[in-house]
A and B are shown apart, each in its own frame.
Chain A
């Protein structure tokens, strides 16, 4: 049976579609972009987008949508691109995804929609992320948002945290007619999208545009509010009259290795390093007041192998680092970072020190980092994570000269909300307990999702949780049933 629907407007037969190569994403040349903060990927134009869209097999049972945490109707929006209706395609995505310009850039599509694309059995999968980005950017350039009109329900929802999961909840619920107010601890909205992900992967202008759109929809925002400190969840419910609360406070406290020398000047957590750069614009010192260590001509390493590690080290390179290393204790195959990011990083000249781990940070005698004392590792038996456990090789110790080391080895749960909300259940690691389908916590009317429930994950998984939560908050507000 042909997967192609009969009434398709696509002029190509399935066989012809398979022969069309996946359209390459235009990029800034590696030796230019490693010196600036402009975007690496430049985006499809209308021609490339239509050409790519023609490759879609229009499966009767689209596994792409099934594997999307927010359930974007891929087949339908791609067909609208084939038809040349780019704004229609954008509106179609927005039915399920309030941040398409963001996910079009940072979602690991290879683990979701593209990973299950039927094309990938024979050729490269459909460039769904690239297409999503194209229509989202097209819509933005046209300045043509279609604002849905809905009758107000009279219900009020407080969203704690303005990261991807909180914004998804807010975007979905405002379109159901509920009043929504988002509380953010920092002075700028967007959570990890603004303090964590660098400009060259996700320009801040994109987030500002998405936030403007949400304001047009009627979402209210309040910055400088640390829920749990400035106001508690119970006060939001009892004193400010919120009918439901969603907690999306995100990634928590940065972890350190507990090795000697981690307190030396020049040793940063990835969160601090990226926050200084992305949120505080420390690299524009003295135009901006927040300082950071001047990286020009310095040797810098990041410890860790995830996307955050790569964001940090690629930022260091752009800020003038002479040598920029990734130190990772396992091998390429175990690296959690996206393949595209690893590829981009190698192109830019990042030096990957695989199967290597620091055991000590060495001081210059004045409190500043001068080297990382490292050991080489080999992979032994699988550990509890199923990955082969790295084991130090005897006698392999060596010193890697460094001025700055950035620790990107994960986070633990931030306790502020949990410790100030009586009755809110947490798991052994301190993350908030929430039902994986309804995102309900152990407290009536309180929902949670994203990294504060799962531990560090991805933007799209946080948005998926937000989507589920919005559905279940809506049910709760309309039925009153818990």
Chain B
């Protein structure tokens, strides 16, 4: 049982939790993740660790509501418990002094990019950070990232904050302006990471992405998280989660992440139906109808 010390929405649908997890807090390094299971019937999902405080014995994670498990998680409050939290898993980010490092964070991936950006800065690199969000409300960690970056660029899809556009546009600008880039680290939605990989491949810029495939145990035992790297099978949980972006087969990643889409939607509809019944302001009928339609 892992106690939630703090829980606060930092943007609509995005919540930061501080968890009491002394063992994990002592070992966590940037780039690593935990697997958690909220309750007895729950699934195991991987979540990247944002930060840790070994003195207090806590770790922080940032969770965006998407399916049932993340929504259920984001309904929890300080004082509640998460049944299982295991980690830190995966290989830590390889932090070296390289020169100029561009850190690209998309959506909630921004929270995962933050500890790596900070570490690259501490290692003596010039850090340029680019973050993107759908709109102004969803821009997260701006202050934190500004404090560890030599330059911070922000894009919003709708132009409601900073520059309208996508992170890839900013990266392209940097390249076109002749900025010498020694490494790009991109963490975010698969489409974003793929676009970054395609751009930097042409420019021959070393690029690392952090993959988030479906996982169960997170220790290499099940092989469910296998990804195709340079045509070979690797396990994201033990060989990754960070890989050379130019070797990742993104098509297979997208395909495998969609393996349980029907089940996930069904789970979500049932959950929304159940919560709507408790809080009548929501549209109960709609979710419950979806839940019933998808029943076997």
Contact = CB atoms under 8 A, between A and B. Distances in A.
Given A256-B233, A288-B41, A263 B226 contact: yes
Interface in A152-176: none
Contacts, number: 124
Nearest to B67: A289
A115 interface: no
Given A225-B23, A253-B235, A272 B86 contact: no
A416 B255 contact: no
Given A185-B86, A290-B43, A416 B24 contact: no
Contact of A272 (B218, B224, B266): B224
A205 interface: no
A268 B222 CA distance: 9
A185 B217 contact: yes
Given A230-B27, A269-B224, A415-B238, A275 B217 contact: yes
A14 interface: no
Given A226-B89, A231-B23, A367-B258, A280 B219 contact: no
B56 interface: no
A269 B217 CA distance: 13
A263 B223 contact: no
Interface string B69-82: 10000000000000
A229 B255 contact: no
Interface residues of A, number: 44
B23 A185 contact: no
Contacts of B27: 229-231
Given A223-B84, A226-B87, A272-B224, A291 B260 contact: yes
A392 interface: no
A404 B37 CA distance: 27
Contacts of B87: 226, 229-230
Contacts of A258: 233
B199 interface: no
Interface string A264-291: 1100110110011001110001111111
Nearest to B269: A286
A256 B256 CA distance: 16
B256 A224 contact: no
| Secondary structure class of chain A's binding surface, majority of residues | loop
A286 B222 CA distance: 21
B83 interface: yes
Nearest to A284: B41
A225 B263 CA distance: 30
A297 to B, nearest CB: 12
A322 interface: no
Nearest to B228: A263
Chain B: number of interface residues, binned into ranges:
35 or more
Contact of B44 (A256, A262, A280, A367): A280
A306 interface: no
A253 B264 contact: no
Interface in B245-296: 249, 252, 255-256, 258-260, 263-264, 266-267, 270, 296
Interface string A208-246: 000000000000000111100111000000000000000
B68 interface: yes
B42 interface: yes
B238 A254 contact: no
A400 interface: no
Contact of A280 (B43, B88, B226, B266): B43
A116 to B, nearest CB: 34
B84 A187 contact: yes
B41 A186 contact: no
A471 interface: no
A414 interface: yes
A357 to B, nearest CB: 18
A265 B259 contact: yes
B83 A289 contact: no
Contacts of A231: 23, 27
B221 A289 contact: no
Interface of B: 23-24, 27, 37, 41-44, 68-69, 83-89, 216-224, 226, 228, 233, 235, 238, 249, 252, 255-256, 258-260, 263-264, 266-267, 270, 296
21 contacts: A185-B217, A195-B217, A224-B84, A226-B219, A229-B88, A231-B27, A252-B221, A269-B222, A269-B223, A271-B223, A272-B216, A272-B223, A279-B216, A280-B43, A286-B263, A286-B267, A289-B69, A289-B267, A291-B260, A367-B258, A416-B220
Given A185-B219, A253-B238, A263-B249, 13 more contacts: A225-B86, A231-B27, A253-B235, A256-B223, A256-B226, A263-B226, A271-B221, A271-B222, A288-B41, A289-B68, A291-B260, A414-B219, A414-B220
Top 10 A-B pairs, shortest CB-CB distance:
A291-B263, A367-B255, A272-B222, A269-B223, A289-B43, A290-B43, A254-B223, A224-B86, A187-B84, A291-B260
